[in-house]
Structure 1
Amino acid sequence: MAGRHAFLPQTLRNTLTRVLNGPQALAFLPAFALGAFWLGGEEALIVVALGMPILVLIAGALGAGTHGAGTHDAATGLPQSDAMIEMAEASMAHAAAAKLKTACFVIEIEEFGRIAERIGPGAAETLIARSATRLQTILRNDDGLFRMGEARFGVVLPPMPRLDLETGIQMATRLQTAIEEPLAHDGRTIYLSAGLGFCLSSRSPDDSGTALVECAGIALDEARRSGPSAVRAYSPEMGQIRHRRDTLCTEALIALENGEILPWFQPQISTDTGHVTGFETLARWIHPERGLIPPADFLPVLHEAGQIERLGEVMLYGALTAVNAWDAAGAPVPTIAINMTGEELRNPKLADRMRWELDRFDLAPGRLTIEVLESVVAGAPEDMTARNLARLSEMGCRIDLDDFGAGHASLAALRRFAIGRIKIDRSFITHVDGDPEQQRMVNAILTMADRLGIETLAEGVETAGEHAMLAQLGCRHVQGFAIGRPMPFDATLDWMRGHAARLGTPPRIGRGSG
């Protein structure tokens, strides 16, 4: 099927299809006929009248040869996913019958959403069209190129005698290089990165084209998890991992709605007084059969399922409920911290929702701290993220920059995003009591923060020695296992009672305490 029209290059076939197989062909037919009559008389008129329908039929045949001409993408002129499945089915059937081999490649431009935000939707579509053209230039006439999504392309190879893993990797490298060549736009250079996954027919779980395309997509998912510009070839183990991940995703979605994923709380204390200065809210999943499931296992699947904002709603409700409960128990906690992702911070209704929630719980905005990862701030342009953080700060909410030092946030970003406190990443805290280099790094961060009028908190404090050294260096707040592990709400009051006793101050916990 792929080779029926090998005498015409793919791009020319697409062009002829769009021109002759659309309504414009019929619209110009009277004009062509009239011109032919004036120039060549009745004979020319007859030739045009008979010839145009034949050309249209040829265009239809060419469209069939390009696999789904009726579903071509407007920006690139490429056939889309349905046509890709058609070609994959035909290639797999031919390969199985003739003892040949085929393969499917899926390539995706990474972080395309952010690029589109920066250059605008029109320029982004132009970038996609230029990327498609580059891919076409390195493909052979019979290779099928398809647009699968916003920034994703698929390639299906026709059956061939020799196609092993080495050949597949070479092909993947050529496709990736074509995408990642710098592009000039509006006087500046745009650098792209692309992840790629592919599946050889010899590794596909069955002989269907659908399985071949799906397995290439699974390999792409693995590539995306492995970091920028990664390439992965499908293996049966990936399918098993995908099945387990899909199962976990389904269970996590059910757990989120059933109340199995709950907020736990980790204390933060002052190095000056030892008193509790806040708690950080952390998501924990208590599975009825497997017990405590680590956040690193379920947070990524909730993110992929588009449920991170829903998780944020659950965490916020639990955090504000806890503050009210602590107040009622006579153990007021100055502030509760919640983590917010880039998706949540780009929601234009975020500030209004937070104001409504605080009013609902009758809490002052200063009781709520918004934690944002340094990587989110470093990668965010001056758009909705900056406006939301500014509005939250103006409301009176506190803004913490999490994992400071692990990302690439600039000093200007500390001001632009209204950061009130930085949380020094654990990588600088480990062994700070015995490593002079760690002490110099922490001291430099503390000096910078002091000059900027920004508070500091060290996270990941795991030993009494680290706690003591951080207090000596002048870090105002600490958090970590040496202070207290994350705990369910029911354990927080007992922990605060025990902590107050260790400080030598009678605890003020319980109704009627004065």
Structure 2
Amino acid sequence: MTIIPLLTLAGWLVSQQPGFLIAAFLLPAILAVSIDRGAGRRGPETDPLTGLDTRSGLIANLDDDLRGTAQRGCQSAVVVLEIEDFKLLEERVGRAGLEAVLIEIARRLISGVRDSDTCARLDGQTFAVALAAMRDLSEEQAEAVPRRLQLALSRPVALGQQVVHPTFSVGYALSRKVMQPDGERMLQSATLAMLEAQRSGLGTVLGYDAAMKTRIETREALLREVRTALVRGEVRPFFQPQVCTRTGKVTGFEALARWHSPSRGMVSPAEFLPAMEAAGLMEELGHVMLNSALAALRDWDRTGLSVDRVGVNFSTAELRQPGLANRVAQALERFDLDPCRLSVEVLETVVAGGSDDTVANTLTGLAKLGCRLDLDDFGTGHASITTIRQFPIHRIKIDRSFVTNIDRDPEQHKMVSAILTMAERLGLETLAEGVETEAEWDTLASLGCDHIQGYWIARPMPLSDVAPWVKGLADRGAGSAKSARKIG
């Protein structure tokens, strides 16, 4: 069988609506194609909706390709493409509309490859292509094919008067990158790359390499450990004080999740919180944090420690639970605490683009209960004034990225000054996060910021250290702003 270069392969897809261009793309001259292509190959089974091969057919053809490519000095590749937000798409267009979209995607996929390649539908939302007899390509050349497939499949699809815009996470694997490649290993490797692409954000294309497998195995091990950590009580709150800039008094503490692993030691929140989110554990973590923080506040009351309130972070997953406000009310009643002593901290990104009805109703319910609402990491989520006014916000927490070097950076100074002016006019309290120097404190205080939080005051501390720390302030002269600054 003779192999010749394929200079270009063009596929044009036009909708049935006159004048509506669906897709146009070119694949570059990086494929090799057999003269004796025939009408394409089919596996032993086909998908009843799209007519594409199934998983077993794809793997069988891959195995055949791999046996021949090494002898011809070529390589094989697999591309896996998964439709993003599949359930939302089905809710929007209905079952019949979804099937029409899937059929159109299958048609584009077939039009975008050679007859010698194999197109398959692996499951409801996942497609794959086995590319046979590819030249030895550079990394940029290898990525060009899946990117162009992604572009073609992501073009708008017209469903009568409705137009949908499917998006795809894409992973691919080259046979030279897979140890002892066979059809099953190739497909598994491309699927791993696709899952990594999903984690990286919408519309990402990633190629498989050996380091990726190691990263995934490490993350899976972390997921297993973090599940166990919650059960064993290894994840618990550390408390960071919040201080009034005018009086220097501690007005509250924020409860921050910290994990001390017997094998790993202290694990960074930047590492374990995404793992918990991926494992669907944020609601369980939120339950632990809320009850632990309220228990601490009750115990401080009993020992005569003066702390006005405690702040607890609520994830998007928690806020989307319809019964959250009732559960918070029950917890406050159980610990005999006034709701106004709980600050519900919500990321600005949760409300920046407008929020779904469940989140909005939950926040409204918590505010009606009497809880204070803090908008966390303000300045990072592009929330508009209109959006802020739609929610019963009490205080905005200015993100540390705006606070760092505010005493030396005129642009930072202007930005924070504008935020503080806006907050004052809206009747909102303000708190600056990440304050690490005396100069930053002084600048923020002079601009009228109400509260500060950061290492200049204290690092987050375990529950056992809170009482000694507060008493240490009293010994140094309570009521003085200087007394609230970092001890020791």
Residue 336 of structure 1 is matched in structure 2 by 310
SS in 2 for 1:316: helix
How much has 1:418 moved relative to structure 2? 2.1
| 1:439 is aligned to 2:413 | yes
Range 332-341 or range 175-184, more displaced: 175-184
Q: Is the 2:257–2:289 contact (alpha carbons within 8 Å) kept by the matching residues of 1?
A: yes
Cα 1:126/1:417, change in 2 over 3 Å: farther
Among candidates 434, 444, 448, match of residue 474 of structure 1? 448
Alignment partner, residue 465 of structure 1: 439
Could you tell me whether the CA contact under 8 Å between 2:171 and 2:205 is conserved in 1?
A: yes
Corresponding letter in the other structure for 2:63: M
Deviations 1:346-372 (CA, angstroms, capped at 9, x unpaired): 112212222222222222221211111
Which stretch of the first structure deviates more once superposed, 214-223 or 335-344?
214-223
TM norm structure 1: 0.77
Tell me the distance in 2 between the aligned counterparts of 1:146 and 1:309: 37
* CA distance in 1: counterparts of 2:441 and 2:452, whole angstroms: 7
Query: What is the aligned partner in structure 2 of residue 155 from structure 1?
Result: 128
Contact 1:96 1:207 in 2 (8 A): no
- 1:429/1:438 contact within 8 Å kept: yes
The whole-number CA distance in structure 2 between the counterparts of 1:245 and 1:297 is: 9
Which has a greater percent of helix?
Answer: 1
* Residues 93 and 133 (structure 1), Cα distance of their counterparts in 2 relative to 1, 3 Å cut: closer
- Note if 1:369 corresponds to 2:343: yes
Deviation for aligned residue 1:215: 1.3
2:82 to 104, 108, 117: 108
TM-score when scaled to structure 2? Answer: 0.81
Matched position secondary structure for 2:476? helix
Whole-angstrom distance in 2 between the partners of 1:127 and 1:380: 28
Q: For residue 58 of structure 2, what is the aligned residue in structure 1?
A: 87
Tell me, yes or no, if the aligned pair for 1:194 and 1:228 is still in contact at 8 Å. Answer: yes
- Residue in structure 1 matching 2:177, options 199, 203, 209: 203
Task: Give the conservation status (yes or no) of the 8 Å contact 2:62–2:182.
Answer: no
- 1:107-256 → structure 2 map (5 Å cutoff): 107-110=81-84, 119=92, 130-148=104-122, 152-160=125-133, 162=135, 164=137, 165-183=139-157, 193-256=167-230
Q: 1:401 to 1:202 in 2, by over 3 A?
A: same
Q: Deviations over 1:447-468 (max 9, x none)?
A: 1111111111111111111111
Query: For this pair of structures, how many residues does the alignment match?
Result: 436
Mark the CA change 1:210 to 1:320 in structure 2 (over 3 Å): closer, same or farther: farther
Post-superposition shift, 1:406? 1.0
CA drift at 1:492: 0.9
Q: Write 1 or 2 for the structure with the bigger share of strand.
A: 2
Residues 436 and 192 of structure 1: CA distance in aligned 2, closer, same or farther (over 3 Å): farther
Query: Is contact 1:467-1:478 (8 Å) kept?
Result: yes
**What is the CA–CA distance in structure 2 between the aligned matches of 1:148 and 1:418, rounded to whole Å?**
46
**SS in structure 2 opposite 1:65?**
coil
Distance in 1, Cα, partners of 2:248 & 2:44: 70
Residues of 1 paired with 2:80 and 2:64: CA distance? 20
> How far is 1:440 from its partner?
1.2
The aligned counterpart of 1:65 is 42
| 2:270 aligns with one of 291, 296, 302 | 296
Deviations 1:14-69 (A, max 9, x none): xxxxxxxxxxxxxxxxxxxxxxxxxxxxxxxxxxxxxxxxxxxxxxxx9x935533
Q: Partner of 1:351 in structure 2?
A: 325
Letter in 2 for 1:425: D
Aligned residue number for residue 449 of structure 1: 423
CA drift of 1:268 comes to 0.8
- Deviation of the 1:290 alpha carbon: 2.5
By how many angstroms is 1:132 displaced? 4.4
Q: What secondary structure does 1:159 align onto?
A: strand
Shift of residue 237 of structure 1?
0.9
Report the residue type matching 1:340 in the other structure: F
Matched, 1:261 2:235: yes
Alignment partner of 2:253 out of 276, 279, 283: 279
Would you say the 8 A contact 1:319–1:338 is kept in 2?
Answer: yes
Deviation, structure 1 residue 379: 4.0
| C-alpha contact 2:348 2:378 (8 A) present in aligned 1 | yes
Q: Decide whether aligned partners of structure 1 residues 89 and 357 sit closer, same or farther in structure 2, where only a CA change above 3 A counts.
A: farther
Q: Percent identity?
A: 42
Q: What is the deviation of 1:102? A: 2.2
Aligned match for 1:398, one of 372, 379, 393: 372
Asked whether the 8 Å contact 1:252–1:298 carries over to 2, the reply is: yes
Q: Give the aligned partner of residue 334 of structure 2.
A: 360
Q: Which segment is superposed worse, 232-241 or 129-138?
A: 129-138
1:96 aligns with 2:67: yes
Could you tell me which residue of structure 1 aligns to residue 385 of structure 2?
411
Instruction: Tell me if structure 2 keeps the 8 A contact 1:102–1:201.
Output: yes
Over 3 Å counting, the alpha-carbon distance change for 1:179 and 1:491 in structure 2 is farther
Q: CA RMSD in A?
A: 2.8
User: By how many angstroms is 1:422 displaced?
Assistant: 1.0
Query: How much has 1:339 moved relative to structure 2?
Result: 1.3
User: Matches of 1:98 and 1:434 in 2, distance apart?
Assistant: 62
Larger radius of gyration: 1
What is the alpha-carbon distance in structure 1 between the residues aligned to residue 394 and residue 156 of structure 2?
38
CA distance 1:456–1:228, change in 2 (3 Å): same
Once residues 114 and 459 of structure 1 are traced to their aligned partners in structure 2, the CA distance between those partners, rounded to angstroms, is 36
Aligned counterparts of 2:104 and 2:354: Cα–Cα separation in 1:
26
Query: In structure 1, the residue corresponding to 2:461 is in which secondary structure?
Result: coil
Instruction: Provide structure 1 residue ranges, at least 5 long, that are not aligned to the other structure.
Output: 1-61, 507-514
**Partners of 2:369 and 2:133 in 1: CA distance:** 65
Distance 1:438 1:132 in 2: 51
Does structure 1 retain, via aligned residues, the 8 Å contact 2:108–2:153?
Answer: yes
* Stretch of structure 1 that moved more, 497-506 or 459-468: 497-506
Q: How far apart, in 1, do the equivalents of 2:300 and 2:180 lie?
A: 58
> Does the CA-based 8 Å contact 1:101-1:161 persist in structure 2?
yes
Pick which of 480-489 and 282-291 moved more: 282-291
CA distance, structure 1, for counterparts of residue 342 and residue 188 of structure 2: 44
- SS state at 2:475 partner: helix
Match of 1:310, SS state, is: helix
Distance in 2, matches of 1:112 and 1:458, equals 40
Shift of 1:291: 1.3
Moved more, 127-136 or 269-278: 127-136
Q: Check 1:245–1:382 CA distance in 2 against 1; reply closer, same or farther (3 A cut).
A: closer
